[in-house]
A = this chain, B = another copy of it.
C-alpha cells in the first residue's frame, strides 16, 4: 500500500480491531480465530474503496466506516472458508498459517460463519444515514456476497477445478472473476456511494469504474502469481501453473496481460471523470489496486 492511503488504512485496522475486541465466556477460541482471520494482514482494498468513494462524494469517511468494516469482514470470512481442506486447501494466508491450520477446521468454519454474521450486525451501526439507506446497504452487501454474487462465483470456480474442466475463452474467464472477486469490489464502491447519498446515475458510473478495477486487479493477480515471490505474495507463488489453471497469463502471456490490465484501468478511470469533480484519490486507489508490485 502506498503511503497516500496509509493513514486511512490505519483507521480501518483500528475500527476492525474494535469490532472483534470482545470477550466471550463460552467461546473465547471463536473470538481468537475471528481476530486472527480479520486482523492478520491484508491490503484492506475493499474497505479503502468504500471510504474513498464516500470521501470523493464529499462525505466524512468516518460515516462510511461501518460499511467499510462490513465488506472487509465478508472478504475475510470468504478467505477462511476458501482455504479449508474441502475447498482450496491452502495452508498459507498473508504469510502465516491459514485459520484452519492455526485453530483447526471446525473453529475455522465457525469463525467464518461468525464473521459473515458480524458483517451484517456491523452495517446496522451506520450513523448519519436514514434507515432506508441502511437497509439498502444490507441488501447490497447480501446480494453482492451471496449465491448471485461472490458465493456463486466461488461455486463456479470450485466446479471447474473439481470437474477438471478448463476455461475455453477469455470472456468465460472474465465472467468467472466478475462473480468471484469483481462483485465484491463493486459492492465496496456502491456501499460508499450509497452512504454518501449518490444518485442512481452516479452509482452506475461508479459501479462501472469498480468493475474495471476488479478485472484489472484479477489480471494482475494472475501476472503476480508468475512473476512475484511467495514472500511478496504472502501465499505460494506459481500455484496457478502447478494447478494447471487457465488464467489471463495463459490467454495473453505475461506482457499481454500487463498491457490488458493497464488498458482496463484506463477505461475504468474514464468512467470516474464523468461523475466526480475530484476523482484523483479514487483514481490513485484504483491504480494502487491494479498495478501493485511489478
A106 touches B86 (CB 8 A): yes
**Total copies of this chain within the assembly:** 2
A106 touches B158 (CB 8 A): yes
Residues of B within 8 A of A263 (CB): none
Kindly state whether residue A159 has any CB partner on chain B within 8 Å: yes
Total interface residues in chain A, CB < 8 Å: 57
| Distance to closest chain B CB from A164 (angstroms) | 15
Q: Which of A127-149 contact B (CB under 8 A)?
A: 130-132, 134-135, 138-139, 141-143, 145-148
**A74-114 vs B, Cβ < 8 Å mask (1 yes, 0 no):** 00011001001111000000000000000011110110111
Contact of A147 among B84, B117, B158 (CB under 8 A): B117
B117 touches A139 (CB 8 A): no
Residues of B within 8 A of A162 (CB): 104, 106
Q: A residues engaging B (CB < 8 A)?
A: 22, 24, 26-27, 29-31, 34, 77-78, 81, 84-87, 104-107, 109-110, 112-114, 116-118, 120-121, 123-124, 130-132, 134-135, 138-139, 141-143, 145-148, 151-156, 158-159, 162, 175-176, 179
Of all A-B residue pairs in the complex, the 6 with the closest CB atoms, nearest first, are A131-B131, A121-B142, A117-B146, A27-B155, A86-B105, A27-B152
